[in-house]
Structure 1
């Protein structure tokens, strides 16, 4: 039996991996930075490798020291020995820890003895007393160690990878650390938020359609649990809608028999006026049942989304009404590609245009597009709607008593159906009265890439 060690894919584990990646990044960059440090750090690090040479030359006689120093090939490319009475030794001995010159005086311990050392580079006047070829080695730096007899051994580094005063080194080191943490945080945030962004895109795609397929379960364990709960809720809503549709279809079918019987019995009523009123009531009941069934079936959601020319669709609507002598005009761009359900969107716009023609005598279709959304406005020149009823008219079977009642046609489902279509596209419809008279139905839909 194979045992597979697989880390748990949870948000907590991803955050832990993020912190670990940031720490590893800091360590790696710190290691890289240590290879490019200036003389202050590199020379101190080289003292441990130079101690054997210092011991050897310190124990040798004055005659052998120049030859031994010339054979040095460790921390530096070259070494020079200066007697205690030489001008170089006197300058090095006079160097003070708090001197304003750019050198650093430290103590060098060997076998329990404390030896004086000086770190400096070409910018320090001390470098003028050291014997080496300046033209060939413009980046040289120096480590000088005082021996027991007050003579000095000077190690000469011929090449320095990186140069800068200590404050600059600190700033750059902190910058490296900050950049590594920032890079790890940005990458971790991107990968952590990617499944959440995908989940949000899936929600925008399905909109308010309970018949849409389930959302694909991806991402950390907690997010997958949330998606699974959402899919379960969506399945319950889908079952509820289907049961509701079946119930309404059965009611509509069962209503046809008693309505037909009422119509047949109405034929025996001798009073023509009463008979006409009865038939009108029967027709209204039948129309209400059929309208309700058509609305609750949500037929527009069975249409597949596709890319279509929205401007061309609106222009076609205006031309069709114009061919029948109805005053409908279109204003906007000649072409605009939009992803949605063209037939459903056409029915929604025609419902708004029908209302504008029925109650406002004319209709104007206007399309405005931006980088984030599209706006379609249907305007008329009618009496408008009372302010308190601007939202109520979207309620199923709601009708205004005066200007928009059953006598003028409609069952109060046109605006409700239109809003349902637009909301399925991720948008919404709002109504407002125009200054000077008229009503404007404003459709706003986001542009989803």
Structure 2
């Protein structure tokens, strides 16, 4: 029996690895934060036992006579901290006694000492505070960035703790808020990155499906991603192959029927030459011509010749200007408004036929065609406007169906076999675009064509 240490490539394993990677990433980021965050990540002054040691020193100094207080204070040992005692009748004690107690930290430490059974006034200040200049034993040149805590003793004297380096962090509430914010941002960043890679195969599958929707004859979808997704893609490819085979068989059958109709139509025309009644002969020939036109249109449509054309980059605005100029040379009112040039990747001959179909419809049923082209970095918007009667709202979508004709204004006598809009929509959708019809205010029809711009 063969064992493999490689985990199975399934969606469940990918989710587990994604969640695990996100957790490991957050932990690593937390370690980096704690290493480089400085005082933000250090324990608060209450958690470092500095206050307890300072309280012991205060009680010890307070218990000895005045002549021993400074030696006892100087002999006290707290890392990176020196202790000095100032008598009650000294100028320094007078300044500290009258200093304002407005700091929130002052109030918190005062309450802490009171809660531990030794109420006293406590002041906190830094080297950039004016109080530091009133301490005769503080050397600013040696320790320019120092922290001070002054505690008042029961006899009016003061004990000043001078820390040359901050060995404690922010208050606990501030630390919790910062830590929660950092963890939330870390989880969000790790989740976004992990989810991006987890959903990458699904996005690729969706892109392939859109490509298939634009061109049903496109090749099979790439089988990539986790096992379940590969199985779904394989099933879709099998279904796609069956549908393509079904459509190709039906298309070949209809194309063959349209082609084979030419022979009996030719025979009918030859036999019609022997009809002596001129009126009946002309009617017969007219019906044969209609049938021949329908067969030719159907054959051209079923062949889908536009899909055999190679895509290339061409000037879409120039193509529309050329169409307008060609019709104008024939004396037909076709006008173009838009940019002089705009590059587009597609099948130029197919687009020319599709746009010509739209212009022909506008001229036949609206007596005038106005082409308006607007382009942006992401989308192309083309309007074909006529000034005819429009079409009923219920038929705005039906007219795209093969061989569909409106009986009143758009019937066989005015031309067309009902395949112009069908063919135009097929060409436009094959390029990832869409087409829709709208009746204009005041009369006329507006054809809206949207296409993705070339990236």
With the shorter chain as reference, the TM-score category is 0.7 to 0.9
| 1:358 CA drift (Å) | 2.0
Give the Cα separation in 2 of the matches to 1:180 and 1:4: 31
Give the Cα separation in 1 of the matches to 2:142 and 2:312: 72
Question: In the alignment, which of 239, 253, 256 is matched to residue 259 of structure 2?
Answer: 253
**What is aligned with 1:12?**
15
Flag the 1:3–1:391 CA change in 2: closer, same or farther, 3 A: closer
Q: Does 1:437 align with 2:443?
A: yes
Flag the 1:221–1:18 CA change in 2: closer, same or farther, 3 A: farther
| 1:385 CA drift (Å) | 2.0
**What is aligned with 2:385?**
379
Q: Does 1:310 align with 2:310?
A: no
| 1:223 CA drift (Å) | 3.9
CA contact (8 A) 1:351 1:415 kept: yes
Which runs of 5 or more residues in structure 1 are unaligned?
A: 55-62, 92-97, 108-118, 145-152
Q: Tell me the TM-score normalized by structure 2.
A: 0.74
Q: Tell me the TM-score normalized by structure 1.
A: 0.75
Aligned partner of residue 44 in structure 2, secondary structure: helix
**What is aligned with 1:300?**
306
Q: Does 1:239 align with 2:245?
A: yes
Q: Does 1:76 align with 2:82?
A: no
**What is aligned with 1:137?**
143
Give the Cα separation in 2 of the matches to 1:267 and 1:22: 89
Query: 1:352-371 CA deviation, whole Å, 9 max, x = no partner?
Result: 11112222222111112245
Give the Cα separation in 2 of the matches to 1:160 and 1:36: 7
Q: Does 1:280 align with 2:286?
A: yes
| 1:339 CA drift (Å) | 2.7
Give the Cα separation in 1 of the matches to 2:48 and 2:238: 64
Give the Cα separation in 2 of the matches to 1:159 and 1:105: 25
Counterparts of 1:51-130 in structure 2 under 5 Å? 76-77=79-80, 100-101=106-107, 103=109, 122=125
Give the Cα separation in 2 of the matches to 1:398 and 1:258: 25
CA contact (8 A) 1:256 1:286 kept: yes
Counterparts of 1:280-429 in structure 2 under 5 Å? 280-429=286-435
Which runs of 5 or more residues in structure 2 are unaligned?
A: 58-67, 91-95, 97-103, 114-121, 151-158
| 1:190 CA drift (Å) | 2.8
**What is aligned with 1:36?**
39
Flag the 1:434–1:126 CA change in 2: closer, same or farther, 3 A: closer
Q: Does 1:262 align with 2:268?
A: yes
CA contact (8 A) 1:121 1:140 kept: no
Aligned partner of residue 417 in structure 2, secondary structure: coil
Aligned partner of residue 184 in structure 1, secondary structure: helix
Give the Cα separation in 2 of the matches to 1:177 and 1:352: 59
| 1:321 CA drift (Å) | 1.4
Moved more, 195-204 or 294-303: 195-204
